[in-house]
Structure 1
Amino acid sequence: MFRIRKEFHFSASHRLSHLPDDHQCARLHGHNYIVVVELAAKALNPDGFVRDYHDLKPLKTHIDDHFDHRHLNDVLEGPSTAENLARHFFDWCAARWPETSAVLVSETPKTWAEYRP
Protein backbone atom coordinates (compact mmCIF):
# COMPACT_ATOMS: atom_id res chain seq x y z
CA MET A 1 0.00 0.00 0.00
CA PHE A 2 1.27 3.45 -0.91
CA ARG A 3 0.44 6.29 1.50
CA ILE A 4 0.90 10.04 1.28
CA ARG A 5 0.19 12.73 3.87
CA LYS A 6 -0.16 16.48 3.70
CA GLU A 7 -0.26 18.90 6.62
CA PHE A 8 -2.41 22.00 7.02
CA HIS A 9 -2.53 24.61 9.81
CA PHE A 10 -5.13 26.94 11.28
CA SER A 11 -5.85 28.84 14.49
CA ALA A 12 -9.25 28.90 16.15
CA SER A 13 -11.06 29.27 19.45
CA HIS A 14 -13.59 26.99 21.07
CA ARG A 15 -15.04 25.86 24.35
CA LEU A 16 -16.46 22.55 25.44
CA SER A 17 -19.50 23.90 27.25
CA HIS A 18 -20.87 20.44 28.07
CA LEU A 19 -17.97 19.85 30.49
CA PRO A 20 -18.10 20.87 34.17
CA ASP A 21 -17.38 24.55 34.84
CA ASP A 22 -14.13 23.70 36.63
CA HIS A 23 -12.74 21.83 33.58
CA GLN A 24 -10.17 23.96 31.74
CA CYS A 25 -11.68 23.09 28.35
CA ALA A 26 -15.06 24.48 29.41
CA ARG A 27 -13.52 27.95 29.34
CA LEU A 28 -13.03 29.87 26.11
CA HIS A 29 -9.57 29.08 24.71
CA GLY A 30 -7.79 28.55 21.42
CA HIS A 31 -5.33 26.31 19.63
CA ASN A 32 -2.97 26.34 16.71
CA TYR A 33 -4.34 23.27 14.97
CA ILE A 34 -2.53 20.90 12.65
CA VAL A 35 -4.58 18.77 10.24
CA VAL A 36 -2.92 15.89 8.42
CA VAL A 37 -4.78 14.15 5.62
CA GLU A 38 -3.59 10.70 4.56
CA LEU A 39 -4.40 9.10 1.21
CA ALA A 40 -3.65 5.49 0.31
CA ALA A 41 -3.69 3.37 -2.84
CA LYS A 42 -2.62 -0.13 -3.78
CA ALA A 43 -1.27 1.14 -7.08
CA LEU A 44 0.08 4.47 -8.29
CA ASN A 45 -1.68 6.50 -10.95
CA PRO A 46 -0.07 6.94 -14.42
CA ASP A 47 1.95 9.91 -13.08
CA GLY A 48 3.47 7.75 -10.33
CA PHE A 49 1.40 9.32 -7.51
CA VAL A 50 -1.23 8.17 -5.06
CA ARG A 51 -2.56 11.65 -5.86
CA ASP A 52 -0.76 14.85 -6.81
CA TYR A 53 -0.29 16.97 -3.66
CA HIS A 54 -1.48 19.97 -5.66
CA ASP A 55 -4.91 18.31 -5.91
CA LEU A 56 -5.28 18.78 -2.14
CA LYS A 57 -5.32 22.58 -2.35
CA PRO A 58 -9.13 22.71 -1.96
CA LEU A 59 -8.69 21.44 1.60
CA LYS A 60 -6.48 24.44 2.38
CA THR A 61 -9.14 26.72 0.92
CA HIS A 62 -11.88 24.97 2.95
CA ILE A 63 -9.86 25.35 6.16
CA ASP A 64 -8.94 28.97 5.45
CA ASP A 65 -12.51 29.95 4.54
CA HIS A 66 -14.42 28.11 7.28
CA PHE A 67 -12.09 27.34 10.20
CA ASP A 68 -9.09 29.67 10.40
CA HIS A 69 -9.52 32.41 13.01
CA ARG A 70 -13.08 31.29 13.72
CA HIS A 71 -14.91 30.15 16.84
CA LEU A 72 -15.34 26.41 16.22
CA ASN A 73 -18.56 26.21 18.23
CA ASP A 74 -20.11 28.34 15.49
CA VAL A 75 -18.93 26.22 12.55
CA LEU A 76 -18.82 22.59 13.72
CA GLU A 77 -21.79 20.36 14.53
CA GLY A 78 -21.45 18.67 17.88
CA PRO A 79 -18.71 19.25 20.43
CA SER A 80 -15.72 21.07 18.96
CA THR A 81 -13.27 18.32 19.94
CA ALA A 82 -10.22 17.26 17.94
CA GLU A 83 -11.98 13.94 17.37
CA ASN A 84 -14.99 15.63 15.77
CA LEU A 85 -12.72 17.85 13.69
CA ALA A 86 -10.88 14.76 12.43
CA ARG A 87 -14.17 13.14 11.42
CA HIS A 88 -15.39 16.35 9.74
CA PHE A 89 -12.22 16.72 7.68
CA PHE A 90 -12.21 13.00 6.83
CA ASP A 91 -15.77 13.15 5.50
CA TRP A 92 -15.02 16.33 3.56
CA CYS A 93 -11.87 14.83 2.00
CA ALA A 94 -13.36 11.40 1.27
CA ALA A 95 -16.20 13.04 -0.67
CA ARG A 96 -13.57 14.53 -3.00
CA TRP A 97 -10.73 12.01 -2.95
CA PRO A 98 -11.71 8.34 -2.57
CA GLU A 99 -8.12 7.51 -1.61
CA THR A 100 -8.59 9.31 1.73
CA SER A 101 -7.67 6.81 4.44
CA ALA A 102 -7.28 8.91 7.61
CA VAL A 103 -7.24 12.40 9.07
CA LEU A 104 -5.28 13.42 12.14
CA VAL A 105 -5.82 16.62 14.13
CA SER A 106 -3.49 18.11 16.73
CA GLU A 107 -4.46 20.81 19.21
CA THR A 108 -1.10 20.87 21.00
CA PRO A 109 2.37 19.53 20.20
CA LYS A 110 1.69 16.51 22.43
CA THR A 111 -1.90 15.61 21.50
CA TRP A 112 -3.39 14.03 18.39
CA ALA A 113 -6.80 12.69 17.44
CA GLU A 114 -7.29 10.43 14.42
CA TYR A 115 -10.28 9.33 12.40
CA ARG A 116 -9.74 6.25 10.26
CA PRO A 117 -12.78 4.19 9.24
Structure 2
Amino acid sequence: MYRITKEFHFSASHQLCHLPEDHPCARLHGHNYIVEVELAAADLDANGFVRDYRELKPLKTWIDDALDHRHLNEVFGHDMVTSERLAKEVYDFCKARWAETSAVRVSETPKTWAEYRP
Protein backbone atom coordinates (compact mmCIF):
# COMPACT_ATOMS: atom_id res chain seq x y z
CA MET A 1 0.00 0.00 0.00
CA TYR A 2 1.29 3.44 -0.91
CA ARG A 3 0.50 6.34 1.41
CA ILE A 4 0.92 10.08 1.08
CA THR A 5 0.14 12.86 3.53
CA LYS A 6 -0.21 16.59 3.27
CA GLU A 7 -0.33 19.09 6.09
CA PHE A 8 -2.51 22.19 6.38
CA HIS A 9 -2.54 24.93 9.04
CA PHE A 10 -5.20 27.28 10.36
CA SER A 11 -6.09 29.23 13.49
CA ALA A 12 -9.55 29.16 15.04
CA SER A 13 -11.42 29.37 18.32
CA HIS A 14 -13.84 26.99 19.98
CA GLN A 15 -15.49 26.40 23.31
CA LEU A 16 -16.52 23.09 24.86
CA CYS A 17 -19.59 24.39 26.67
CA HIS A 18 -20.68 20.97 27.94
CA LEU A 19 -17.61 20.62 30.19
CA PRO A 20 -17.62 21.69 33.85
CA GLU A 21 -17.17 25.42 34.36
CA ASP A 22 -13.74 24.95 35.96
CA HIS A 23 -12.37 23.00 32.97
CA PRO A 24 -10.05 25.24 30.91
CA CYS A 25 -11.61 24.07 27.62
CA ALA A 26 -15.03 25.26 28.78
CA ARG A 27 -13.76 28.80 28.28
CA LEU A 28 -13.56 30.40 24.85
CA HIS A 29 -10.07 29.71 23.53
CA GLY A 30 -8.18 29.15 20.31
CA HIS A 31 -5.59 26.94 18.70
CA ASN A 32 -3.14 26.95 15.84
CA TYR A 33 -4.44 23.76 14.26
CA ILE A 34 -2.50 21.38 12.07
CA VAL A 35 -4.51 19.07 9.83
CA GLU A 36 -2.82 16.13 8.13
CA VAL A 37 -4.71 14.24 5.45
CA GLU A 38 -3.56 10.77 4.41
CA LEU A 39 -4.37 9.10 1.10
CA ALA A 40 -3.59 5.47 0.30
CA ALA A 41 -3.69 3.27 -2.77
CA ALA A 42 -2.57 -0.22 -3.67
CA ASP A 43 -1.39 1.00 -7.08
CA LEU A 44 0.03 4.23 -8.41
CA ASP A 45 -1.54 6.21 -11.23
CA ALA A 46 0.03 6.69 -14.67
CA ASN A 47 2.21 9.50 -13.24
CA GLY A 48 3.51 7.37 -10.36
CA PHE A 49 1.32 9.09 -7.75
CA VAL A 50 -1.26 7.99 -5.22
CA ARG A 51 -2.72 11.39 -6.07
CA ASP A 52 -1.02 14.59 -7.25
CA TYR A 53 -0.65 16.84 -4.19
CA ARG A 54 -1.84 19.76 -6.28
CA GLU A 55 -5.26 18.11 -6.54
CA LEU A 56 -5.73 18.70 -2.80
CA LYS A 57 -6.06 22.46 -3.33
CA PRO A 58 -9.85 22.37 -2.67
CA LEU A 59 -9.07 21.26 0.89
CA LYS A 60 -6.75 24.24 1.40
CA THR A 61 -9.40 26.55 -0.04
CA TRP A 62 -12.10 25.11 2.25
CA ILE A 63 -9.86 25.38 5.32
CA ASP A 64 -8.89 28.96 4.45
CA ASP A 65 -12.45 30.06 3.65
CA ALA A 66 -14.54 28.10 6.16
CA LEU A 67 -12.28 27.40 9.16
CA ASP A 68 -9.37 29.83 9.36
CA HIS A 69 -9.90 32.61 11.92
CA ARG A 70 -13.45 31.40 12.62
CA HIS A 71 -15.28 30.25 15.72
CA LEU A 72 -15.68 26.52 15.08
CA ASN A 73 -18.81 26.21 17.24
CA GLU A 74 -20.54 28.53 14.78
CA VAL A 75 -19.05 26.82 11.71
CA PHE A 76 -20.29 23.37 12.74
CA GLY A 77 -23.39 24.48 14.63
CA HIS A 78 -22.74 22.75 17.95
CA ASP A 79 -20.71 23.11 21.14
CA MET A 80 -18.74 19.87 20.96
CA VAL A 81 -16.09 20.75 18.38
CA THR A 82 -13.27 18.55 19.63
CA SER A 83 -10.18 17.56 17.65
CA GLU A 84 -11.71 14.12 17.22
CA ARG A 85 -14.87 15.55 15.66
CA LEU A 86 -12.89 18.00 13.56
CA ALA A 87 -10.83 15.10 12.19
CA LYS A 88 -14.06 13.36 11.13
CA GLU A 89 -15.45 16.54 9.51
CA VAL A 90 -12.26 16.99 7.48
CA TYR A 91 -12.20 13.29 6.62
CA ASP A 92 -15.76 13.47 5.28
CA PHE A 93 -14.87 16.53 3.18
CA CYS A 94 -11.85 14.72 1.72
CA LYS A 95 -13.46 11.32 1.20
CA ALA A 96 -16.27 12.93 -0.82
CA ARG A 97 -13.62 14.27 -3.22
CA TRP A 98 -10.79 11.75 -3.16
CA ALA A 99 -11.59 8.05 -2.80
CA GLU A 100 -8.03 7.37 -1.64
CA THR A 101 -8.58 9.30 1.61
CA SER A 102 -7.65 6.91 4.42
CA ALA A 103 -7.23 9.08 7.53
CA VAL A 104 -7.15 12.60 8.91
CA ARG A 105 -5.17 13.77 11.93
CA VAL A 106 -5.72 17.03 13.78
CA SER A 107 -3.39 18.72 16.25
CA GLU A 108 -4.39 21.51 18.64
CA THR A 109 -1.03 21.69 20.39
CA PRO A 110 2.49 20.48 19.56
CA LYS A 111 1.99 17.49 21.87
CA THR A 112 -1.53 16.34 20.99
CA TRP A 113 -3.09 14.63 17.96
CA ALA A 114 -6.52 13.17 17.26
CA GLU A 115 -7.11 10.87 14.30
CA TYR A 116 -10.11 9.61 12.38
CA ARG A 117 -9.43 6.45 10.41
CA PRO A 118 -12.38 4.22 9.42
What is the TM-score of this pair, normalised by structure 1? 0.98
What is the aligned partner in structure 2 of residue 22 from structure 1? 22
| Cα offset, 1:77, TM superposition | 4.3
Is 1:99 aligned with 2:100?
yes
Q: Which runs of 4+ in 1 moved over 2 A?
A: none
Question: For the aligned residues, what is the CA RMSD?
Answer: 0.6
Q: Deviations over 1:75-106 (max 9, x none)?
A: 12441100000000000000000000000000
Q: Deviations over 1:29-61 (max 9, x none)?
A: 000000000000000000000000000010000
Letter in 2 for 1:94: K
What is the aligned partner in structure 1 of residue 35 from structure 2? 35
Unaligned runs of 5+ in 2: none
**1:1-117 equivalence runs, <5 A:** 1-78=1-78, 79-117=80-118
Unaligned runs of 5+ in 1: none
Residues paired across the two proteins, number? 117
Counting aligned pairs with the same residue, the percent is 72
What is the TM-score of this pair, normalised by structure 2? 0.98
